[in-house]
Each structure stands twice: as structure tokens, then as C-alpha cells.
Amino acid sequence: MNNRIAHIASNTFREAVRDRVLYNLIAFAVLLSAAAIFVGQISIEIEKLVVINLGLTAVSLFGIVIAIFIGIGLVSKEIEKRTLYTVLSRPVRRWEFIIGKFFGLTGTLVVNTFFMAIGVFGALLYVSHKFVRADALIFVALYFIILEFIIICSLSLLFSSFSTPLLSAVFAFSLFVIGSFAEDLRGFAAMTHGFTRWLATGAAYLIPNFSALNIVSSIAHAQPVPSQLILHNSLYALFYAAMALSGAVIIFEYRNLK
Amino acid sequence: MPAIEILGLEKIYQVGFWRKRPKVALRPLNLTVEDGEIFGFLGPNGAGKTTTLKLLMGLIFPTAGSARILGRDWTDAEVKAQIGFLPEQPYFYDHLTAHELLNYYAQLSGVPAKERSHRVESTLQKVALPDVKGVQLRKFSKGMLQRIGIAQAILHDPKLVFFDEPMSGLDPMGRREVRDLMEQLKQEGKTVFFSTHILSDAEALCDRVAIIHKGELRGVGAIEDLTSTVKGKVELTWQGAQVPSAIKALGAECHLSGDTIRAIIDESKQEAAIDALRRERTRLISLTPLRTSLETYFLEKLRHAETTAGRSS
């Protein structure tokens, strides 16, 4: 990786890990995983299912909140506070700044996911007393959650490159919610005709398909994940993130800083 | 080779929500700053000083024009490794300590890893902030932040330094230290371009200055050359006990001290005053032209600009 990108990424990571809000969110996610134990105890025979479902959903949701919360301020806050002036007056290209920020935020989320996953596995060990081979599938679900984070980080950066933090948060969170129903939207598009079909199909393919990345339920039921799905989802997430980041770079390249 | 060549740089913003209208922030600016000089960029608030600096740093894009910095195209990112920039009222990552911040900037400026630590320490010494290890910037005072701002601008040993209002937020001692630092940079062969509205700083430091007002360059040159273009005042001293009425009629500002009278009058009334003293048969001791200050020149230029604008509207 380009050295300057690595330095910007590492500074972004440092900034994120020194933010107290981050720890509150992680603590809350770990607490929720622990709470899954108690919910599991009142769900006879399906404790494990409840723990995996609730635990992984908490990892995903809190990760998304962290990604949006930090991501939306990454560029706009630097412009607002004018910290960007002393960075861009050095031999740093604007695209390097955006890419560095992206890697820094993604790195933060990967580390967070690691700690939150420890909470999930801890809760699982508590209810099952041992790990079985099928539990390894949780790693696939965690990998898909990280792919979700990669997409949402790139979208947050895209919105942050031209909008205020508040609007960016609204846009990013709305896309996450709509994207979670992307398969339904595609189904709806298939049922319609004419202009509506074009419109619905266009929208269905434009929004990020988070529903394809959510395999928490099937993992909880120990259903195997086809390797083709892993490959497709990986390529999809990387392509989508690359497109969103390209948009962010293009907007930022031509933006006059206040 | 000039350090900076500004070639018709212009910035017009489109303001308004529904009906956009142009707002001129900088009229076509042509300016050359020679290598190794301290150059003052003067103007009242909102004159276009910061806009010019932001254009040169590539933070905003010009409507027209271009520039060359250290002989290279200003858009060349690599030329920035040889320049330092202190923005007006700088803000920094307040979660970092001074050492972490300067180390980060050194990394971005391409300072070799083995030199970084030494460079950070020596720069902190240079800006009189040696004992700030482990303290996050959020706990720094305004003056300390200004020093950190100066430190980050000179950290990578640049050939050309841009300071936007470097004395802002500093106490008199701090201002003195910054002035000394600028002198030191000049002695090291560096070029310093700084914007200010504090004229005494410019007068004490600059080899040349440019005056900008309402986005337009109003004058540029060495301070002595500029001030000599403004008609000044003269001081007449003669022996006597009373100020002659003819001198009073010239609007002189007179001071009596023992048997000596000192009068300050406009240079244009100098001959009339001497004639009046001759008629009174008094003994003229001295006639001294009073040096026009940069402030007088500056205010004269601003007044002239206002008058011209008033007439044209």
C-alpha cells in the first residue's frame, strides 16, 4: 500500500479507537450477546439458535451504527474543523486521503468485530459447554458482516464527501434499511411491467444488496454455505465499495474546501 | 528563479440559492515573490489574503489563472514536499499528542523514518514547546496550538513557508519569538510568505510587501519604496519663545520646549513655513522629513480604493 495511504489509515484508526463512543457501543454489543444467554434459557431446546441469532445480529447492527457514526464525519468533520488544510498542503493527493480514510475505518471495524465476536463465542460456549464443527460457520457469517461494513463504510464516505454529517447519516442508514430488503425489491420488480419494472429493477440493482450478505439465520440452523455464495458476495461487496469510493474520490477531487 | 509566480489567479464564487450571482473573492492577481525574501501579504479582514493562500495550497480551485511554485507547476503534488503552510486559526486532531501529530505530518511529508523523532524534538524546541510529551492537543491553549501550527509548517525543512496570520493568538513574547523564527528561516535561505493585518509586524520583518483590498492588488514593493510615494510630513525646529501666527495658519502641530519650538507640518507646506520663519527673522535649527509609516501608506491605499469605488458606483 502507498505509504501515505497507510499513514492516513493508521491515523484514522487511532482517532476512532480514542473515541469513547466506540467503547460504549462495543460494550453494549457484548452485553447484548451476554443477554442472549438469558433469552436462550427461556427458549427451551433452542438456546444455541437464539444465542447465535441475537449475538451475530448485535455484531452486525452495532458495527453498522459505528460505521455510519464514524464514517459520516470522516471527511466533513475534517473540512469543518479545517484539519484537512494541513494534510492536503502536503504531498498528499485527495484520492489518497479518501482511500486512507476508508482503510482506517474498515480496519477499526474489523478489530471491533473481532472483540464483539469473542463475546458471541463466549456466550455460545456458556450455553453449549463445547464447540462443534458446525460452529465454524459463524466465521463465514462474520466474514459476510465485514463485507457489509466495507459497503457501508464506502457509502458513508461517499455521502460525507458532499453532504453534512446529519444528512449523510440519514442517507447511509436509509440505504442500509432498504438494502436489507433488496431481494424483496428485486422480487417486486420481477412482478411489475413497463416503466415501473424498469424503475424498480434499476433501484433494486442500484441499492446495496445487504439481504444477500445476511446469512445469520441459516448459520444459526447450521446450514452449510455454498462456496460460490462466498465468492459472489466477496466480489459484489468489493465491486460495490469500489464504485462508491470512486464516486467519493471524484466528488472530493473537485470540491472547494471552505 | 522566483519562489512564487502568481499568474492572473482569480476566484469568483457563485452565491445565492435560487438565483446565483457572482461574488468576486480575488480579481486576477499577478505577483512574484523572490527566492529568500520575507514577503508580507497585507490587507484588512476579508481582503482576499486567505483565498489567495488557499488557492496556492490547492484547497480551492481558481476561476482562472495559474501559478508556479519553486519553478514547478503549482498543481504538482510533489512540490508540496518543499513547502510548509500554517492556516489561519489552525485546528488539529485533538486526540493526538504534539509528538504524535508532528510525527504524522512528518510521515505525510516524506521525512525518513530514522530522522523523524529527532526532527520532531528539535522543531518543538524551535517553537518553544519542549515539555508537552504525552499531553493531548485538546488540553493546549490557543497560543500553544499556534506554535504547534508553526511547528508543523517548518517540520520537514521546507524551502518555502506560507504563514496565514502567524501572530494571531500569541502574546507579545510569542509574537517576538515568531518574528525571530521568521528571521532565522530567512537566514537559512528559506522564503517566507506571510499574510497579516498587523502592519507593525510586516514593517519589522518584510523585505517586500503587497497590499490587497477587496480582492484586488493595490500595491507591491519594498516598504521604503512604497512609503516614499506618499507625501509625508516634515519637522521644523527653530529658536523662539512664541509660535508665529503664519505658522499656526499653516495648520502646524507645535511643541514648545524651553527656547526651542518644534512644528510638524505637511511636506507641501514646507516652503511656506520656511518663508514665514525668515520673515520673523528666527533661527532655523533643523528641517527633518518624517518617515511615512507603512500604516500611513496602507490607509492611504485603502482610502484611495474606497474613493475610486465610490466614484465608479
Structure ipTM:
0.84
pTM for the predicted model, two decimal places:
0.83
Using alpha carbons, list the distances in angstroms from residue A14 to A80, A96, A145, A148, B170: 20, 18, 22, 22, 30
Helix A165-180 and helix A73-81: axis angle, to 10°? 180
Measure in Å the smallest separation between the Cα of B27 and chain A Cα atoms: 18
Whether chain A has a CB inside 8 Å of the CB on B49: the answer is no
SS3 B66: strand
d(CA A171, CA A23): 25
d(CA B188, CA B191): 9
Q: Which residues of B touch A7 (CB under 8 A)?
A: 104, 107-108
Measure in Å the smallest separation between the Cα of B90 and chain A Cα atoms: 7
Measure in Å the smallest separation between the Cα of B4 and chain A Cα atoms: 15
Q: Which of B73, B80, B94, B108 has the most A C-beta neighbours within 10 Å, making it the best mutation to test the interface with A?
A: B108
Burial class (CB within 10 angstroms; exposed 0-12, middle 13-18, buried 19+) of B274:
middle
Name which of B81, B91, B110 is nearest A83 (Cβ-Cβ): B91
CB–CB contact A87 B152 (8 Å) = no
The residue of chain A with its CA nearest to that of B60 is A256
Cα angle for residues A98, B105, B48 (degrees, 5° grid)? 80
Measure in Å the smallest separation between the Cα of B143 and chain A Cα atoms: 17
The three cell numbers of residue A121 are 463465542
Using alpha carbons, list the distances in angstroms from residue A188 to A203, A210, B265: 11, 16, 91
- Which helix (H) or strand (E) segment holds residue A198: the answer is helix A194-206
B69 in Cβ contact with B79 (< 8 Å): yes
Residue range B171-184, pLDDT digits in tens: 888 888 889 999 99
- Which helix (H) or strand (E) segment holds residue B13: the answer is strand B4-15
Measure in Å the smallest separation between the Cα of A81 and chain B Cα atoms: 6
Whether chain A has a CB inside 8 Å of the CB on B83: the answer is yes
Residue range B101-118, pLDDT digits in tens: 999 999 999 999 999 999
d(CA B10, CA B60): 11
What are φ and ψ of residue A109, in 5° steps? -70, -35
CB–CB contact B95 A93 (8 Å) = no
The residue of chain A with its CA nearest to that of B148 is A86
CB–CB contact B54 A257 (8 Å) = yes
Whether chain A has a CB inside 8 Å of the CB on B90: the answer is yes
Count of beta carbons in the 10 Å neighbourhood of residue B185: 22
Average pLDDT, stretch A214-220? 85
Separation of CA A161 from chain center = 18
Give, for all 313 residues of chain B, the pLDDT tens digit. 899 999 999 999 988 877 788 899 999 999 999 999 999 999 888 889 999 999 999 999 999 999 999 999 998 888 999 999 999 888 888 889 999 999 999 999 999 999 999 999 999 999 888 888 788 898 988 888 889 999 999 999 999 999 999 988 788 888 888 899 999 999 999 999 999 888 888 888 899 999 999 899 988 988 878 777 666 778 889 988 888 888 888 888 888 888 889 888 888 888 899 998 888 888 888 888 776 677 777 777 777 777 776 666 5
Q: Which residues of A touch B52 (CB under 8 A)?
A: none
- State the DSSP code for B89: S
d(CA B141, CA B133): 15
Name which of A14, A18, A86 is nearest B152 (Cβ-Cβ): A86
SS3 assignment for B157-210: CCCEEEEECCCCCCCHHHHHHHHHHHHHHHHCCCEEEEEECCHHHHHHHCCEEE
d(CA B166, CA B153): 11
CB–CB contact A14 B100 (8 Å) = yes
What are φ and ψ of residue A111, in 5° steps? -65, -40
d(CA B70, CA B159): 8
Residue A117 has pLDDT above 60, yes or no: yes
- Which helix (H) or strand (E) segment holds residue B11: the answer is strand B4-15
What are φ and ψ of residue A131, in 5° steps? -95, 145
Q: Which of A19, A76, A77, A86 has the most B C-beta neighbours within 10 Å, making it the best mutation to test the interface with B?
A: A86
Edge to edge, the sheet with strand B72-73 lists: B21-33, B4-15, B64-69, B72-73
Whether chain A has a CB inside 8 Å of the CB on B5: the answer is no
